[in-house]
Structure 1
Amino acid sequence: MGSSSTMVVALVTAFAEYFSLALGEYEIAQLAYDIERKDLDLAGGRQDQYAAAFGGFNFMEFYAGDHVVVNPLRVKEWIWAELESSLVLYFTGVSRESAKIIDEQSRNIRENRADSLDAMHRLKLEASRMKEALLRGDLVRFAEVMRAGWIAKKQSAHSISNALIDDLETLAMDNGARATKVSGAGGGGFMMFVCDPADRVLLSRALATRGGSVFDFHFNPHGAVAWRVP
């Protein structure tokens, strides 16, 4: 869910408002990244900070030298609503240290492990395919891309999945899910499922039997916002 990065972005936004700093979304996201990854030395990427700062649907491009380009996507309202109705957000009840999983992914890349490198390249390709499916409102294709991305993600590091996650995935697929993935680094935390809206209740009830929690959620078109109380 990117909760830790979202919290840092919120704090930076609050301080920017308090001290009347003219910071845009790019500056806020970069500051949050610097705090987490450089000052606190926590392993991870930078997509969560930019997602929290900008909000909405974006196609983000990351280059060398801290160069980032955020491309807002003009997703039609009916697609937005249909996607919300097709997703189930489930908390597994298991917390994990994302930095350890990310360290494993980074180590695999440094050691030039062919399977991990291939998985990362496939994940990059799936991002472009996901963008196209979303803009077209093709949620069947959206689920196919998400499923392929999850397979690739699991191959990038062994600790991303485990027996609990595999069991939940099997249960979900038997109760209407078309695709699944673990949010964030993996290993636990939140899982996201895509289904036909007509199967959403069935899927939610099945997941609730495993001790976790199904969460209601909505997409937010806005990024972090701060205001002053008179």
Structure 2
Amino acid sequence: MILCRVPFRIPLGGGSTDLASYYEKYGGFIFGLTINLYMDVLIKKTRSDDLIHVHYKNFEAVTTVSQVQHELAREALKMRGIKSNVAISFKADTPAGTGLGSSGACSVALLKGLAAYNGQSISNLQVAAESFQMTQNLGLPDGVQDPYVCSLGGVVVFDIARDGSIELRRAGIKSATIKDFFEKTLFYYTGVSRPSKKILTAQNKDKVLQLKHRTKEIGQEIWTSFKKGNLDDFGELMDEHWQIKRSMSNKMTSSIFDEIYDEAKSQGALGGKIMGAGGGGYLMIYSPSQKVKNKVRRALERFNMREMSFDLDPNGARVKHIMI
């Protein structure tokens, strides 16, 4: 039995410049990190039949790969040449569509896990590239960010060339700065999930080119603030980034999220954003001190959101062989 575990990610800079519609003309930039929430994919041989079993919110038992309804599982099985006698189960620590890169984590877990099922070892860099290609094969508007950050793990920084090639950068960030980031940042699960496909597709249609140029610059400036250990600069830059992000699509926010954000700012928070493509999911709010953070927390209690506590996951995608 094979267990593949892949961490979810938090985007910190450059989001939306990882879409092909942008980087193929101008190049992209991504800065993100992985956290201790996971996508687990369990893979084993079927015992009672030769069918393909896929167990998620639905249960499938089909005779051919083309009959599999779960599109990521179907494409991963095709790419790995597995045609029968396999059972795949999914367990995620957070629902899909919440802004933490769930589809990227899922595709990485499938491809790395199925490679191990075939007796093959595959690097996290290679599986990230294959995962992105898989989403493109399916016609999804997903960016490069999710599979690479989720697969590589830890603090991840890279440039995207116009031909789509990835140049990894040394993060150069002290562990004390990462600890400070988690201590001063509030994370909330809003209880709202949304399909990022509609939001990402809308971005391609909107006239947002100059905004994306500035988004890339802000991402690089945020990385610099982390390297210098000056997270208050990060908070202010994140506020500017969120204002840009809101203007990219009318689906990016809502009146209730605007009210939450304005309340947090009025209590002293420096910046925040809805993670991922926007529109729902997880909310991140940075405060300059623990005192301000606690003040913001009390002010937001009336919105009945679930506060979450995260830590850095330094490992990325990994496989475990389970003997039963």
Identity %: 26
State yes or no: 1:186 paired with 2:278. Answer: yes
Q: 192, 199, 212: which one pairs with 1:120?
A: 212
Cα distance in structure 2, aligned partners of 1:72 and 1:17? 29
State yes or no: 1:67 paired with 2:165. Answer: yes
Counterpart of 2:148, as a letter, is Y
Q: In the alignment, which residue of structure 2 is the partner of 1:18?
A: 117
Cα distance in structure 2, aligned partners of 1:9 and 1:189? 21
Superposed CA RMSD: 1.6
TM-score w.r.t. structure 1 length? 0.90
Q: 203, 208, 220: which one pairs with 2:301?
A: 208
SS of equivalent residue, structure 2 residue 303: coil
Q: 128, 133, 136: which one pairs with 1:34?
A: 133
Counterpart of 2:152, as a letter, is F
State yes or no: 1:43 paired with 2:141. Answer: yes
Counterpart of 1:213, as a letter, is R
Superposed displacement of residue 177, structure 1: 1.6
Number of aligned positions between the proteins: 223
* Counterpart mapping for 1:30-109 below 5 A: 30-39=129-138, 41-108=139-206
Superposed displacement of residue 3, structure 1: 1.7
More strand by share: 2
SS of equivalent residue, structure 1 residue 118: helix
Deviates more, 1:126-135 or 1:12-21: 12-21
State yes or no: 1:223 paired with 2:316. Answer: yes
SS of equivalent residue, structure 1 residue 61: strand
More helix by share: 1
Counterpart of 1:201, as a letter, is N
Deviates more, 1:161-170 or 1:29-38: 29-38
Superposed displacement of residue 8, structure 1: 1.7
SS of equivalent residue, structure 1 residue 192: strand
Which 4+ stretches in 1 moved above 3 angstroms? none
TM-score w.r.t. structure 2 length? 0.65
Judge conservation of contact 1:91–1:189 (CA < 8 Å) in 2.
Answer: yes
Superposed displacement of residue 86, structure 1: 1.1
Please, which runs of 5 or more residues in structure 1 have no aligned partner? none
Judge conservation of contact 1:117–1:156 (CA < 8 Å) in 2.
Answer: no
Please, which runs of 5 or more residues in structure 2 have no aligned partner? 1-99
Q: 211, 227, 238: which one pairs with 1:135?
A: 227
Cα distance in structure 2, aligned partners of 1:92 and 1:73? 30
Cα distance in structure 2, aligned partners of 1:227 and 1:127? 35
Task: Report the structure number with the largest CA radius of gyration.
Answer: 2
Counterpart of 1:199, as a letter, is V
Cα distance in structure 1, aligned partners of 2:302 and 2:106? 31
Q: 211, 223, 248: which one pairs with 1:156?
A: 248
Q: 88, 91, 101: which one pairs with 1:2?
A: 101
